[in-house]
Amino acid sequence: MRQLSTIVERFRDRFGAVPRVYRAPGRVNLIGEHTDYNDGFAMPAAIEFYCWVAISPREDRKLCLYSEEFSSESGVDLAADAPAPTKSWSDYPIGVTLQLEGAGFHLRGANLLIESEVPMGAGLSSSAAIEVATALALAEQSGAKPERVQLARLCQKAENEFVGARVGIMDQFVSLHGQKDHALLLDCRSLTFESLAIPDSVKLVISNTMVKHELASGEYNHRRADCEEAVRRLATVLPGIRALRDVSPEQLEKHKGLLTDVIYKRALHIVSENARTLDAAAALRAGDIDRFGKRMAESHRSLRDLYEVSCMELDLMVDLAYQQKGVHGARMTGGGFGGATINLVDARFAGEFKEKIAKAYQHETGLLPQIYICKPAEGAGPLLSSDV
């Protein structure tokens, strides 16, 4: 964990002022993958990896941004015309700035220093973390008090419209609403959620394959378009539906003739994943971790075979997980095409799991994976000097 004092010092060296500091966590999704943009159910938890934003006001209406990760400066003049995206890290904070302004929040000029410890391209929502930390920092230092749900929506819109990735709302939502030691069963239509305690007897272990994905690069958007096409076709016989959330497994089977093979596979993943997520939540409420693990295994197979967003390294990491002691369930997490897996591991075996799976994966691929034993964390917020 980074020290607040280090960030304050770095900010002072660069901008000559004492900043306020905000942080927003990344997330891991336990189950309910690619369901968010289908108005469905997901079960993410915020994790103790953060993006930090230090901020102090300026006299003019410029935002000067500095990224520690990229050792790079960028900026935007709020009094001038909106800039175009540049396909770099600064699209995230600038996209969020434009959304906040567009929503009627009059932002003050500011200097911002951004530092993130959320692994990039690992499917752990480094994008949402930078969006949310920036949005909170900008809003609060301008005296604005948007509701957290509105902030989540604005951050999602920034990513959809400025960055060009048609992501759903899960990541931004959980980065803002995460709860210590809990996952959220999130209804992505109503944006209501139930907090589900993760028992002390299990650990969330994340295995980063070290193979990076690029969400904006097209496949993610294609999957979303496939789902929309399924809804368009099914709506000809099911006029009440607005999203795949509204389609039952029976209805999908009955009308599969309306869909191409590929679109049917995509829809079947979504419809079954929603049912699995609700069953996994019931299992967690009942303390039945093995049943939860079974749903995770099914989810991975569905993402691999029907939604086709897994890859060799993710499949290998999942297979290796099931060869270890104390594993209740394992699956890919996040958008896919690389990134990480989430493993539900008996707490007594988590240390051994970490060591053995790292060795086995390295042996098979030559890549040294990063394995994190995580705890569900609180959502984004300001840091006080007492946190130093």
Residues 19 and 34: their CA atoms lie apart, in Å, by 37
Reduced to 3 states (helix: H, G, I; strand: E, B; else coil), residue 42 is: strand
Of the listed 36, 39, 91, 171, which one is catalytic?
A: 171
What residues pair up with 84 in beta bridges, in sequence order?
none
What is d(CA 241, CA 232) in angstroms, rounded to the nearest whole number? 9
Q: Which stretch binds ligand GAF (CB under 6 A): 30-38, 51-59, 107-115, 318-326?
A: 30-38
How many Å apart are CA 92 and CA 135, to the nearest integer?
Answer: 10
CA atoms within 13 A on the CB side of 377: 20
Q: Give least dist CB 303 to ligand GAF, A.
A: 9
Supply the minimum distance, in Å, between the C-beta of residue 101 and ligand GAF: 23
Does 293 contact ligand GAF by CB under 6 A?
no
Q: Which is nearer to ligand GAF, 121 or 334 (CB)?
A: 334
Contact 207, 321 (CB under 8 A): yes
37 belongs to the binding site for ligand GAF (CB under 6 A): yes
Measured from the CB atom, is 20 or 213 closer to ligand GAF?
Answer: 213
**Residue 25: both structure tokens together:** 């966590």
121 binds ligand GAF (CB under 6 A): no
Cβ atoms of 74 and 99 within 8 Å: the answer is: no
Query: Smallest gap, in angstroms, from Cβ of residue 67 to ligand GAF?
Result: 20
Q: What track of x and - describes contact with ligand GAF for positions 54 through 93 (by CB under 6 A)?
A: ----------------------------------------
Closest distance of CB 244 from ligand GAF, Å: 13
Q: Name the residue nearer to ligand GAF (CB basis): 4 or 340.
A: 340
Contacts of 112 (CB under 8 A, 6+ apart): 53, 54, 55, 63, 64, 65, 66, 93, 134, 137, 138
Q: Measured from the CB atom, is 171 or 226 closer to ligand GAF?
A: 171
Stretch that binds ligand GAF, among 26-34, 72-80, 277-285, 357-365 (CB under 6 A): 26-34
Closest CA to 268 of 292, 247, 282: 247
Kindly write out the interface string for residues 308-347 of this chain, putting x where it contacts ligand GAF by CB under 6 A and - elsewhere.
--------------------------xx------------
Told to check if 300 binds ligand GAF by CB under 6 A, we report no
Q: Quick check: 33 binds ligand GAF (CB under 6 A)?
A: yes
Identity of residue 385? S
Is 171 one of the annotated active-site residues of the chain? yes
Burial (CB count within 10 angstroms: exposed 0-12, middle 13-18, buried 19+), residue 296: buried
Query: Min. distance of Cβ 175 from ligand GAF in angstroms?
Result: 11
44 interacts with ligand GAF by CB under 6 A = no
Rg, Å, the chain Cα set? 21
Q: Is 131 in the site for ligand GAF (CB under 6 A)?
A: no
Question: Which two three-digit tokens encode residue 252?
Answer: 């999908």
> Cβ closer to ligand GAF: 34 or 295?
34
Residue 196 has phi, psi (to 5 degrees) of -115, 120
3-state secondary structure of 240: coil
Q: Which residue number, 320 or 332, has a Cβ lying nearer to ligand GAF?
A: 332
Contact with ligand GAF (CB under 6 A) among 45, 63, 135, 167: 167
Contact 363, 374 (CB under 8 A): no
The strand pair at 110-116 and 62-67 is best described as parallel
Q: Is 34 in the site for ligand GAF (CB under 6 A)?
A: yes
Q: Residues 8, 23, 31, 36: which binds ligand GAF (CB under 6 A)?
A: 36
d(CA 172, CA 155): 7
Considering only the stretches 59-67, 103-111, 165-173, 270-278, report the one whose residues sit in contact with ligand GAF under the rule CB under 6 A.
165-173
28 in contact with ligand GAF (CB under 6 A): no
Cβ 287 to ligand GAF shortest distance, Å: 26
| Cβ-based neighbour number of residue 388 at 10 Å | 12
Residues 6+ apart with CB under 8 A from 207: 317, 321, 340, 341, 343, 357, 361, 369, 370, 371
Cβ nearer to ligand GAF, comparing 55 with 185:
185
Instruction: Give me the active site residues, please.
Output: 171
Note the residues at the interface with ligand GAF (CB under 6 A).
29, 33-34, 36-37, 125, 167-168, 170-171, 334-335
